Amino acid sequence: MDSALSWIGTAGMAGDAWLRQTTPDTYARQTLELSHQNLRQISNDLLESPPLGPDSAYLNTVLARSRRRIARLAALITAKDAPDFARELDLLRADQRIVKRLSDKIESEE
Amino acid sequence: MKKALEITLGIVTSVGGFLEIGSVTTAVQAGAAFGYHLLWAILLGTVCLIFLVEMSGRFSAVSRHTIVDATRERFGFPFFAIVLVGVVLVFFMVLVAELGGIGLSLQILTGIGFPWWAIPVSFAVWLLMWKGTFGLIENGASILGLVTISFVVAALKLNPDWGAAGHGLLPGLPGDDKAKYGFIAVSILGASISPHLMYFYSSGAIEDEWDKTYIPINRFIAGFGISFGGVLSMAALVTAALAFQPNGVEVDTFEQSALLMTTAFPKWGFFLFAASMLFTCLGAALETSLAIAYFFAQGFGWSWSEDLTPSKNARFCFTYTIIILLAAIPLLVGIDPIKVTLMSMALTAATLPLAVLPFLFLMNDPIYLGEHRNGWVSNTVVGITILISFVLALIAIPLQIIGG
What angle, 0 to 180 degrees and rounded to 10, lies between the N-to-C axes of helices B77-110 and B352-363?
130
Looking at chain B, which residue has its C-alpha nearest residue A25?
B111
Question: Does residue B136 carry a pLDDT above 90?
Answer: no
How do residues B244-276 score in pLDDT, each as one tens digit? 999 999 999 999 999 999 999 999 999 999 999
Q: What is the pLDDT of residue B15?
A: 66
For residue A29, what is the nearest residue in chain B, using CA coordinates?
A: B111
Which pLDDT score, from 0 to 100, does residue B1 have?
58
- pLDDT for position B64: 94
**pLDDT at residue B16 in the model:** 55
pLDDT at B66: 94
Per-residue pLDDT tens digits for B20-35: 899 999 999 999 999 9
CB contacts, 8 Å: B104 with chain A: none
Q: CB within 8 A of A86, min separation 6: which ones? A: A19
Reduced DSSP (H G I as helix, E B as strand, rest coil) percent helix, strand, coil of chain A, to 5: 85, 0, 15
For chain B, the helix, strand and coil percentages under 3-state DSSP, each to the nearest 5: 80, 0, 20
Of the candidates B243, B248, B252, the beta carbon closest to that of A5 is on B248
Domain boundaries, chain A: 2-109
Residues of chain A with pLDDT under 70: 51-54, 110
Given pLDDT bands bounded at 50, 70 and 90, which one contains residue B56?
very high
**Confidence category of residue B327, pLDDT binned at 50, 70, 90:** very high
CB pairs under 8 A between A and B: 65
Question: How confident is the model at residue B54, as a pLDDT?
Answer: 93
Number of domains chain B is built from: 1
Please give the Cα distance from B210 to B231 (Å, whole number).
28
Distance CA B366, CA B370 (A): 4
B110/A6 Cβ within 8 A: no
**Would you say residue B204 lies in a domain?**
yes
Note the pLDDT of residue B401: 73
Chain B contact probe: residue of A1, A5, A6 with most B CBs at under 10 A: A6
Q: How confident is the model at residue B197 (pLDDT cuts 50, 70, 90)?
A: confident
Residue B111: which of A3, A13, A27 has the nearest Cβ? A27
Per the domain annotation, does B8 fall within a domain? Answer: no
In chain B, the residue whose alpha carbon lies closest to the alpha carbon of A22 is B267
Q: Give the pLDDT of residue B157.
A: 96
Confidence of residue B186 (pLDDT cuts 50, 70, 90): confident
Stretch B330-345: mean pLDDT, rounded?
Answer: 92
The pLDDT, as a whole number, for residue B77 is 93
Number of neighbouring beta carbons within 10 Å of residue B375: 9
Give the span between the Cα atoms of B65 and B68, in whole angstroms.
Answer: 8
- In chain B, pLDDT over 90 holds for what percent of residues? 63
Range of the domain at B245: 14-402
Burial of B377 (C-beta count, 10 Å sphere; 0-12/13-18/19+): exposed
pLDDT tens readout for residues B374-385: 999 999 988 888
Q: Collapse the DSSP code of B336 into the 3-class scheme (helix H, G, I; strand E, B; otherwise coil) and give the result.
A: coil
Tell me whether residue B9 is in a domain. Answer: no
Contacts of residue A22, Cβ cutoff 8 Å, sequence gap at least 6: B262, B266, B267, B268, B269, B270, B271
pLDDT higher than 80, residue B127: yes
Q: What is the pLDDT of residue B191?
A: 87
